[in-house]
Amino acid sequence: MSESALREQIVRHGESLFTRGYGCGASGNISVVLDDGILVTPTNSCLGRLDPARIAKLGPDGTQLSGDPPSKEAFLHQSMYRARPDARAIVHLHSTCSVAVSCLADVDPADVLPPITAYYVMRVGRLPLIPYYRPGDRALADAVHDVARSHHAVLLANHGPVVAGKALDAAVYAAEELEETAKLHLLLRGAPVRLLTDEQVAELREVFPT
């Protein structure tokens, strides 16, 4: 896919995510890998009103080549790409239910959400919790890098999810599945729940590796 087509794809997905309530204001960011660098949504930009020509382009060394200044969390995307060479896109959202779950004190930090549905297991897999760092703290890059080598989705404590995919479509769909599962988890808290069994989860992970 050409760079111009990828820019348009970022705009379409950003608008769709924003319109459906997966982000608000200027929160969240999207990036896509190019042959000669990466595209990153600009800092303080609304995902619902992106201009394809103003999306930042960074070289392999992080130097800005064109567009507006990139998201202040571009370093987070670069760290995850280094950890996952097969990733071609990353979506970072401040989606309400995922952020709510990231604030809960009783979650398992090794795997935050339970296996409620097959599609969550298939598209997200395990979801580790990264300890809280202030926005823009470069130490977050190292924390994410260490975990991202074995997980393509992570949840930043009191912040939101970061999801990598082999294409932008895949990253977006996994981020959406994560948010919907977080919503289900909150709706079901306190109720008797029938989760997928260990055997069912193992079968899904064997047939649909993430």
Catalytic residues: 73, 119
Element (H, E) at 19: helix 3-19
**CA distances from residue 32 to 98, 121, 145 in whole angstroms, order as listed:** 22, 24, 17
Task: Using CB atoms within 10 Å of the CB of residue 191, give its burial: 0 to 12 exposed, 13 to 18 middle, 19+ buried.
Answer: exposed
Contact 90, 31 (CB under 8 A): yes
* Dihedral pair phi/psi, residue 193, rounded to 5°: -125, 135
Distance in angstroms (rounded) separating the CA atoms of residues 139 and 32: 22
Distance in angstroms (rounded) separating the CA atoms of residues 94 and 172: 13
Helix ranges restricted to H, 52-150: 74-83, 96-102, 118-123, 139-148
Contact 179, 161 (CB under 8 A): yes
